[in-house]
Amino acid sequence: MLYEIKNLVKNYDGRNIIDISFSLQKGGITGLLGPNGSGKTTLLEMLAFLTQPTSGDILYKGARIDFGKSDLVDLRKNVVLLHQKPILFSTTVHNNVEFPLGIRNVKRSERQKIIDQLLVMVGMERFSRAKAHKLSGGETQRVAIAQALACSPEVILMDEPTASIDIENRVIVEGIIQEINRTKGISVIFTTHDSNQAARLADNVMYLNEGRLVDPQNDFMS
């Protein structure tokens, strides 16, 4: 089991943003579908061990997460969160993808091969020497995915990865999501407003409304 979420609650200003329980198997693609304000981003931040829940438990690969312990740093290397509008360093695409490799102390002699492979995977090999801050939204998203993959994660969490990009890049990003899951075995959890996209990409779709899992046949976005 990848995640076991037990009575997880996140409370802001006396209101429960999240109140949820579920479990996820590793190795799949999960689509988290819901309207604005349903708690999708907050849930991703907790699954990435970045936001501490008010109560309840998160178990990752069978181990309960203790937000007071220093080993969260190591766990965060296994789970990477990509925001809807990722921010890259104002340097080249190459250097952005190389950065996590340096943090992980990958030998310089090995870095170029990894960078080349990742840029080919996301279709950005021609942009290796381009300045990252001059890329389009879709191109930025693709480089951010390559940067995340350079961390060698077990899980990639994506917050509405195609919401702010054009149709051409949307198709490309959807293909990348499927490829990294299929070829690298990385578990992917992504949020979306698009039920058709969730159906196309996900092995498992969860519907979130007002912080709770709901049955779309009855009360989802009603």
What ranges do the domains of the chain cover?
3-213
Evaluate whether the domain defined by 3-213 bears CATH number 3.40.50.300: yes
* pLDDT score at 220: 47
pLDDT in tens, 99-146: 999 988 899 999 999 999 999 999 999 999 999 999 999 999 999 999
pLDDT, one tens digit per residue, over 60-95 is 999 999 998 867 888 888 999 999 999 999 999 999
- Provide CB contacts within 8 A for 164, sequence distance 6+: 84, 85, 137
- Strand pairing category for 79-82 and 155-158: parallel
Q: To which residue do tokens 């037990």 refer?
A: 6
pTM exceeds 0.85 for this model: yes
Which pLDDT belongs to residue 95?
97
Residues 165-194, mean pLDDT to the nearest whole number: 96
> Is the predicted pLDDT of residue 218 greater than 90, yes or no?
no
Question: Does residue 216 carry a pLDDT above 80?
Answer: no
Q: Under 8 Å CB-to-CB from 139, ≥6 apart: which residues? A: 124, 127, 169
Counting Cβ atoms within 10 Å, is residue 134 exposed (0-12), middle (13-18) or buried (19+)?
A: exposed
